[in-house]
Amino acid sequence: MQKGSFYIHAQDFLLFRKTTDEVSVITRQISKIIFKKHINSFLDIGSGSGELTKTIVKKFKIKNTIAIDRHNFDKKWFKNIIFIKTDWLKFIYPKKFDFILSAHSMGYLSFKQAEKGIRKIYDYLDENGCAVIIVYDNQGNWPDFKKIFYPKNKLKKSTVDYIEPIISKYNFREKIFFTKIYAKNIKQMLQISRFLGEKYISSYLKENKKISIFLQKFQKGNKTIVFPLKHRLFILYKNKKFLNNFSFSSFTNRPQKGAGKWKTHDFSLLW
């Protein structure tokens, strides 16, 4: 990504973060999973603006956190959060984690990369830990939005479609939840959705008019836009005793056994 285009991407992303309830909704979902568990170590994969990372760390009083992303959007991290500018597939660390989060970072990976990435998440989990992987669902407004400008060959499979068979190799639960984007008007929503369409930005810009018409369906009487997004949340865990401490009444259960160990290289501990 060129410097100029990254600046535009960063501005669009920060506007998206400002206008969505995603952080509060995801935090509530995570609360239902780890509310009885003491989390000592937390790894956030694709931390983005850092807002979600910091909210979780503060709410659950987590002492040791590593946040990784290819870009550093936030220069003001808490003292107990170490930010590492890196790609998840290149990340190496000698310790395992109580809790790992990947919120919408899997959408940037190919099938082979996702397969490697999910196995790596599983292998970096502490024996009694859990991981949460969140992606956009393959139904609802998100796939309808993509149909306007995504190449046809890229619409055959969504992120959910290709990570489900990967996740099914491990012990997991899943559920669906919704977030909303609140934009002042169509113009602002076009800027926000430009971030959502970043993978195929040239196609997005060409179809600006069609996208505007599509977004009008979500316009209220005062011209504001309320755009709901449907998400799929997967919980990965190693030890079945993990289930004894939590209420999963709203989660689907399709557990299977996971795989082997990921090789790491030793270096100085960060905590």
Least confidently predicted of 11-25, 26-40, 171-185, 255-269: 255-269
The residues pairing with 42 across neighbouring beta strands, listed in sequence order, are 65, 99
Longest dimension (CA), the chain: 59
pLDDT band at residue 245, thresholds of 50, 70 and 90? low
Tell the residue number behind the tokens 């099938």, with chain if given.
111
Q: Which residues of 29-67 are buried (b: 16+ CB within 10 A; e: fewer)?
A: bbebbbeebebebbbbbbbbbbbbbbebbeebebebbbb
> Rounded to whole angstroms, how far apart are CA atoms 215 and 227?
8
Paired tokens of 202: 């040239």
pLDDT in tens, 194-230: 888 877 888 998 999 999 999 999 999 989 999 999 9
pTM score: 0.86
Paired tokens of 183: 């934009």
Q: Angle at CA 182, nearest 5°, toward 18 and 139?
A: 110
pLDDT for the residue numbered 268: 30
